[in-house]
Structure 1
Amino acid sequence: MNGFIFPYTTRLVKKEKVNHNVVRFSVQRPFGFNFIPGQAVELSIDQPGCELEVAPFTIISAEDDPCLEFIIKIRPNKDSLTYRLSALKPGAVIQLSRPWDTFEYRGYGHFIAAGTGIVPFMPILDYIHRFGPEFTESHLLVYATKSKEDILFEKRLRKMLGSNFIMRLSSPTASEKLPGRIDFGFLKSIVQKKDQYFYICGPKSFEFDMMTHLMKIGVDQKRIQTGYKFGQSKILNS
């Protein structure tokens, strides 16, 4: 398939709906498959017609779990990989690449996520949380979604970060009181130190805007990380 060779083959164990368009997938952990928190894999379905459909997903399960778990946003396009994944039954064959780094944790700072861009941060935030409240308090998470129903891991994030977890809703309903996009003015109001690290994940346009705003504030680009650092495959119809 276009030169891409998958070293691991596994099977779907179960899938669980998280919200209106996000599903949690659990697959058997292949023998000899090892990873560290924050890593991702390229994933494909082992079925005719899916040969060119490959996309990256972050592993959110613990290092010692018997299954690998992924949180995946389902696209409405019936020809997309994610839509095909949502239609799979337990036992379906899944192909995985070797794990690779998405974000590298370099030190304390701000995490800025939009939509399912929160997913790559979860293993890193779990890792940070293990060091206790004093270490956790040196980090801030700003999480933007369209509405409250789109928020993932809300209870877990509040428990981990407390007041250092800030939500922003770009299209809130009348009953939702967390309006506001993450714009230049908002970022300028929360960035107290420019020598910390900034981790950004979301749609490419979001990542570009956040990086532009931070650099305008005076943050060195070397202190900003964005998006998946893959390149092992050509992503089609994810």
Structure 2
Amino acid sequence: MPKIIAMQRLKILSTHFITHDVKRFVLEKPENFEYTPGQSANISINLPGWEEKIRPYSFTSLPDWDYLEFIVKIYDDQNGVSSQLGKLNVGEELLLHDVFGTIKFKGPGVFIAGGTGITPFIAIFRALFYSGNLREVALLYSNKSKEDIILHDDLTKMLGPAYKNVFTREGVIGFRERRIDRKFLIDNIGDFNFRFYVCGPKKFTEDVCEALISLGAKPEYLIV
């Protein structure tokens, strides 16, 4: 259930592209503002005509940081909120409407992300890493190509060999193109008596969860 809060105006402190189509926003943090790693917020843009066009984005910052951070994929070919976010600069404002999200850390397990589905996991990994509790956690991360990976260096630093990339686009030299499907899960996990955290595009999440359950994962151990 969304956490109802008074709408907050968030000034952009810095912003830049971290991949060819993914942009990082660092924003002012309201006083006494609270959220949990893995949660998201409904956001709009404080510009005429855009205030009511609300979209969900995950916090990638930690609750004890003195700023908020969001990492957003920009779709320039669509004249929508994402495209408009790509044009914003320092000093402009976003509007935060409420906080929500069912993804939270419930114990060791395997994290499976597709594209920007990594974003709620980033805050969880950061919280575990900085508290020295990032143990018995693994990440399978699917993207089209190496150029699409979000925060590769950070993920490598935090997870080390427990972090595995999967690329779906043909022609990525030096990498084997695969998808996270039933066969991939059999080949790379084997034992399905774990928690599984899954986030990505709707079809990706549905297909991965269906495959996991068919292989013996307990539905109550799926966190999506």
Q: Does structure 1 conserve the Cα–Cα contact (< 8 Å) formed by 2:62 and 2:126?
A: no
Report how far residue 180 of structure 1 moved: 1.0
Q: Is the 8 A contact 2:156 2:163 kept in 1?
A: yes
Residue 75 of structure 2 is matched in structure 1 by 75
* Gap regions ≥5 residues in structure 1: 227-238
Hey, what does 2:48 align to over in structure 1? 48
Give the structure 2 partner of residue 85 of structure 1. 85
The 8 Å contact of residues 78 and 84 in structure 1, kept in 2 or not, is answered as no
| CA deviation after TM superposition for structure 1 residue 52, in Å | 3.2
- Aligned residue for 1:186? 184
Q: What TM-score results when the alignment is normalised by the length of structure 2?
A: 0.91
Aligned residues: 221
Amino acid at match of 1:139: V
SS in 1 for 2:18: strand
**CA RMSD, aligned part only?**
1.9
Q: Which residue of 2 aligns with 1:231?
A: none
Q: How many angstroms apart in 2 are the aligned matches of 1:220 and 1:211?
A: 10
Cα distance, 1:217 vs structure 2: 0.2
Partner deviation per Cα, 1:171-226 (whole Å, 9 max, x = no partner):
14352323211110110123343332100111000001001100110111111122
CA distance in 2, matches of 1:54, 1:174: 36
The amino acid across from 2:171 in the alignment is T
Q: In the alignment, residue 110 of structure 2 is paired with which amino acid?
A: H
Between the aligned partners of 2:95 and 2:172, the Cα distance in structure 1 is 44
Counterpart residue identity of residue 10, structure 1: L
Contact 2:27 2:69 in 1 (8 A): yes
Which residue of the other structure, out of 173, 176, 179, is the alignment partner of 1:175?
Answer: 173
Q: CA deviation at 1:103?
A: 0.6
Segment of structure 1 superposing worse, 14-23 or 184-193: 184-193
Code of the residue aligned with 1:220 in structure 2: it is K
Task: State the alpha-carbon separation in 1 of the partners of residues 105 and 61 from structure 2.
Answer: 18
Q: For residues 13 and 22 of structure 1, what CA distance do their matches in structure 2 show?
A: 17
Structure 1 residue 91, shift from structure 2 partner: 1.8
State the distance in 1 between where 2:81 and 2:6 align.
Answer: 16
Partner deviation per Cα, 1:147-194 (whole Å, 9 max, x = no partner)? 000011112112221211111100143523232111101101233433
| Contact 1:137–1:164 (Cα < 8 Å) also in 2 | no
- Paired amino acid for 1:110: V
The residue identity in structure 1 corresponding to 2:181 is: D
Structure 2: gaps of 5 or more residues: none
